[in-house]
Structure 1
């Protein structure tokens, strides 16, 4: 009859492990033991499904007899108990599972994923802040290319244009009509003049060159973090690619020139 041979431990009894057998799933056996008033739950460290589990358990107990504390409890390591079970089982193993190793592997994977996600979040925040700072800086530079006149000046110019047109095209217009047409028409003409002046500025070589410079800088800001070396004698701008930052877990970097340590996410 096939059944399980298992290794169980409990944090309340460090250094002690239980080697037993059961036809039940060892996890059920661990829960049964945990319900007996133990301050900590019992943990399945290893399990093996095999024919004649009682025989394998007995042989494993004999192999571990020098470490026996009481009945199925032994003062030895999990690795020693597992090795004794495997030697006793020979080649008749149906299935075995290293529960501790599986848990440790899963925990390591989960920890690595959490660290990677946290690091990615830090990098994304740094990139967003860097992009915003660049955007604001270039917005200010682009704005400086415009002639920043208040609209009333364009409006006044429009009034003059409309008034001259009315004077030459409709000399019989009433004073009231002349006034309102000049004021309202001047607003429309002023808006047109402002639009023409703005478009001329936007199409100027200097403005277009600055736009290209901005686009290049923003593209770079989305792909890499730029950090000023903290060494006052160096002050080199160091470029850290996002892929590189994600690949290096400890985040230890040095300035390529002066070799001073740099943390691109903290500086």
Structure 2
């Protein structure tokens, strides 16, 4: 299906961008946008338009923007950011139909071989910050529930014993005196002391458990903050060296489930830790005896869980994978 991808804005909705696929020509689309009945005080404006002949471009663009979805086709992005993502998707599409490994390698542009652009660095900073924030909040919520579940609960039978002895002593006090009253008061005092001791021991145990839980919470939050740099910390995007790519190839496992790639594992170098953000792959399709060059943008999840990459539906069956190139960010 051929058509037009439209990037639309409205002053009534700042910081939001709408992305649509339509077969309407630009003039007709602009008229149709503002003829629809709506309560917005400002007109819709087509900020950017691109004619496409491959529908996968629009689908891949939406997959890249899904993290910023605001509903009904609107995304929390700037126009320049959406145009940048669309440009990358179009470049990727031109590489998906490669026929041999050397040609696939040559199709990697000079721009892609260089370090990440300032725009990409900012996008990753924003995404990393959000992931770190939510990971930290989830840890705090989990440990808050654990803290609320720790409390002191005295033994019921001791309360019953205390009540029984109190009633018995009251009866004895009213009817008899002398030694019976003395021993009754002594027994009551012992029971009270036992209850006080149990209460203090219980409180100490609860406080110790709460301190242990808080220490675990602090340790997990420290792990998250160590993985996700904050806004004040310097990070640099670098292209991995050949020996690092060899290590990466060994430490990563790629799975292809119904055309969607899953990446399991990671790489930790003795000298530095690189968090991978972009991987260029050469896939050797065993059945079709051809090569496909794919750039896979990785989406980070907290604490190095399975990371999902772009969907490539036309690739099916068994394949061999060779990493041509990889980028990642390194913390200063």
The TM-score, its normalising length taken from structure 2, stands at 0.26
User: Highest relative contact order (Cα 8 Å, sep 6+), 1 or 2?
Assistant: 2
Which is higher, the Rg of structure 1 or of structure 2?
1
The TM-score, its normalising length taken from structure 1, stands at 0.32
Q: Per residue, is there more strand in 1 or in 2?
A: 2
